[in-house]
Amino acid sequence: MQGSTQEEVRIDVGQLKLGMYVSRLDRPWEDSPFTLQGMWMESVADIEKVQRCCRYVYVDKNLSDSLTDMDQETASGPPPPHVSGPIPVVGEPHSQRRMDDWTPPARDEQGAPLPGAGGVIRYEDEASVTEELPDARIAVVNLEATVAFAMETIAEKESINLRAITEAVKELVASILRNPDPAIGFAIGRKQDNYTLRHCVNMAIWCICLGRQLGLPRSDLALLGTGATLCDLGRAKLPHSLLGQPKKLSSWEIEVVREHVNFSLELLDEHVDVDPVIRRMVAQHHEHINGSGYPNAVAGEDIDLYARIARIIDTFEALISTGPHRRPITVSRATKELYSLRDQQFQKDLVEAFISAIGIYPAGTSVQLSSREAGIVVAGARRNHLKPVIWRLTDADGFQLARPNAVNLAKDDQQRQIKRDFVDGELGFSARAFFC
């Protein structure tokens, strides 16, 4: 697998084209009107916005759809200074000033806090990845066991223990608030033969990470995580032969699978104290903001905020996971797919917040460097999207290192860069090697 050290090229902003991924500007990101450290040029408006504030930019060749034979200058020397500290959560005062096209009310019609609302919390990491890893492992395994027991209960036609699920989610919330990276690494690396079980647990992880980025209070994060866990639990009522079927589903079979929404709601009907927010989230988590979703073709702000979050996460998790009817794609491709559907299926600001919450190459992602060495992203992806900390596992010839070691790409004397990312396990190792 031949690599190239020329992963970024510097171009004049007049040479920008649709499909290019701008990885760096000619100035710090904090001095620009953009909320993301890195962005795709998806529209003429995106290009014009860059052209208004910059003279030149750096384009990542691997993430770009099109890079023509233009006069390019390979990026060299130290990169322009990055924002120090975490990427701002959507809704911080200086972040709001950059988002000149979005000034939402403090609450939506159902009373749930909106991204960008006043009073949101800015969370800082309270523990390192290695410090949080044991507690994250306990929280994820506990939620996994709780969901597995709930699925057994469903099979026996008994009521699920909703309190147990809520308490397990609260443990996960506490871990993610201290540091999201270990839980994210689990979501990418932990394997489960039962797709529904894995999906329910990972839905909770990704949703809580996005809610953390939005600055939702702890109690709301618990509601969000509980609702995320329950959204697809109704799939446990579907025929096993249908869920495990390797061939493409027929139109009739698709309609049967869509019944899982009603099945999940039926599970909630057995409890009188279910928060209305959770019920709306479960009922609407397959609705799109353009009205093309199901079961009721609800659109725009008529969809609950938490359901809008769940729709993004449900799609993302399905894209990066092995399912009965599809092969997984890389995380970078999945985030690009989400970004291409913003303002169509997904709320744009929530998509951008999710990318900020996890990074382009989240913890647990398998990557190859420009040096042809390979490893796993373990930290730093949320602060510096393209230069995280890598746990280096193989050398340039693909041989496993006797002593794996960490490389901080943001401080790397060799100026190594991420060449590309891979589906977990594709390079012969998994995020399990570090996180699980």
Q: Which residues pair with 113 in a beta bridge?
A: 107
Is residue 152 within 8 A of residue 159, CB to CB? The reply is no
What pLDDT is stored for residue 35 in this prediction? Answer: 59
The H-or-E segment that residue 251 falls in is helix 251-258
Output the six-digit token pair for 364: 């647990």
For the chain, list residues with pLDDT below 50.
Answer: 1-6, 68-107, 111, 115-118
Q: What number of CA atoms fall less than 13 Å from residue 393's CA on the CB side?
A: 20
Q: Give a three-class secondary structure readout of 355-396.
A: HHHHCCCCCCCEEEECCCCEEEEEECCCCCCCCCEEEEEECC
Q: Which residues pair with 21 in a beta bridge?
A: 40
CATH architecture entry for 129-358: Orthogonal Bundle (1.10)
The domain limits of the chain are 8-78, 129-358, 366-433
**Does the predicted model carry a pTM greater than 0.85?**
no
Q: Distance between CA 252 and CA 326 in Å, rounded?
A: 19
What pLDDT is stored for residue 119 in this prediction? Answer: 53
Q: Distance between CA 124 and CA 177 in Å, rounded?
A: 8
b/e string for 341-372 if b means 16 or more Cβ within 10 A? bbeebbbbbbbbbbbbbbbbbbbbbbbbbbbb
CA-wise closest residue to 372 among 353, 393, 350, 402: 393
What pLDDT is stored for residue 36 in this prediction? Answer: 65
